Amino acid sequence: MKRTDLRFPSDFTWGAATAAYQIEGAAREDGKGLSTWDMFCRQPGRVYEGHTGDEACDHYHRWKEDIRLMKRMGLQAYRMSVSWPRVIPAGVGAVNPKGLAFYDRLVDGLLAAGIDPWVTLFHWDFPHELYLRGGWLNRDSAAWFGDYARVVVEKLSDRVTHWMTLNEPTCFISQGLETGIHAPGDKLGKHEVLTAAHHVLLAHGHAAQVIRAHARRKPVVGWAPCGIIGAPATSKPADVRSARAFTNECRDLWSFSWWADPIFFGHYPEDGLRQVGNMSPRVHPGDMELIRQPMDFFGMNIYNARMIRATKTAPYEMVPALPGRPQTLFHWKITPSALYWGPRFIYERYKCPIVITENGLSSMDWVSLGGCVHDAMRIDFTERYLSELRRVIQDGVPVKGYFHWSAMDNFEWAEGYKQRFGMIHVDYQTQVRTLKDSAHWYRKVIKSNGAIVDP
């Protein structure tokens, strides 16, 4: 492999990420309540081959081993999430001491290994009991989430400083409540979907307030959305303008602006409101003031981008993917420039420092006869994307960190265990872990602060 100098700023954070439901298992142990994903996995045909998160990576019992592996990888930070129903089984009311104690031990273990925990409060595992009370359709959900956030913050904030309120509201609202391909599997009308989305934004505001009011160490607060990014098909100024217009335009819930404009500007985007018309959510007095909480960083989950070019008859045009274009096992197109144009366009619009909170790929990995996992494609993918990230930093965009998705193979939602995103291979029958070649390579990247070397 060609040697490439990719050194990053001296204060840059290198990490990897996971989510509670995807790795913990122990779905019914130690007083944990059920989540909508526990319910969803038991509905025939919902998840690939009937897979469930009941055991997943058994991280709940194997967390010490997993931390040792993360330390071997050289991780500086670990983005983790907390399971709401593990901490508060019914979603509100009585706290589960054993569930809270798990995260207490986990944080202590990470810090003892020299790994900084970055905590996401919600990564899709909504309490089933609260779903029966209307879930995100219930306006009280914002207060429910705020109360849960306070429990976690009061327990962990003497050691945790980096917090994220929500992960990818686009996915758990659009795919969970509109298309029904994710938990809870509903197919609601547009007004109901947008109402739930509004309540999610209120929950974000409540949680941000709670973090700042109750954290015992000065907190660094952000969130981790996703959305569709446009990247210019060429370096021509006209194509750049068109890609920017595509990224900023509000077409649907997959547009960054529907979620981010309320948080940073205090209102929904005008083009989005025109799109939804009388199906827009009801905004109560004071809602936007609650939603518009100051953010210390804008987390971005980025995997690819749409290629955009200028046209004489429209603001932009999507360039069709050429036959045979590289793609991941998930059939996502590989577009490294997403890690340049995504942070650039979002920073131009919102003026908030960026953290790449997810980036990676699913590939066809298995343990070789020699006992190793040779995932050369993951190394090549990550080097290409990091090259673009370094370029945008050099151009003045303040990107503060990078979290690879994911630290280990895990339950990939409706895809079950079909997709492997991890730098640690997990044998789901034996729970044996194996560091992939990419994990050893990533350690060198981190140690050299991005001066990528031969694997």
Q: Which residues pair with 433 in a beta bridge?
A: 426
Question: Of 168, 178, 383, 388, which is the active-site residue?
Answer: 168
Question: Of 24, 178, 249, 358, which is the active-site residue?
Answer: 358
- The angle formed by the CA atoms of residues 426, 428 and 434, to the nearest 5 degrees, is 20
Q: How far apart are CA 287 and CA 197, in angstroms?
A: 13
**415 labelled catalytic:** no
Q: Are 200 and 287 in contact (CB under 8 A)?
A: no
- The angle formed by the CA atoms of residues 219, 221 and 222, to the nearest 5 degrees, is 165
Peptide bond preceding 438 in cis form (omega within 30 of 0): no
Q: Which helix (H) or strand (E) holds 240?
A: helix 237-248
Q: Which two tokens stand for residue 266?
A: 């205090």
Q: How far apart are CA 114 and CA 81, in angstroms?
A: 18
Q: Are 340 and 391 in contact (CB under 8 A)?
A: yes
Query: In terms of DSSP H, where are the helices of 1-140?
Result: 20-23, 36-40, 59-73, 84-87, 97-112, 128-131
> What amino acid is encoded at 429 in this protein?
Q
Q: Report the SS3 class of residue 408.
A: strand
**270 labelled catalytic:** no
Q: How far apart are CA 151 and CA 161, in angstroms?
A: 15
Active site residues: 168, 358
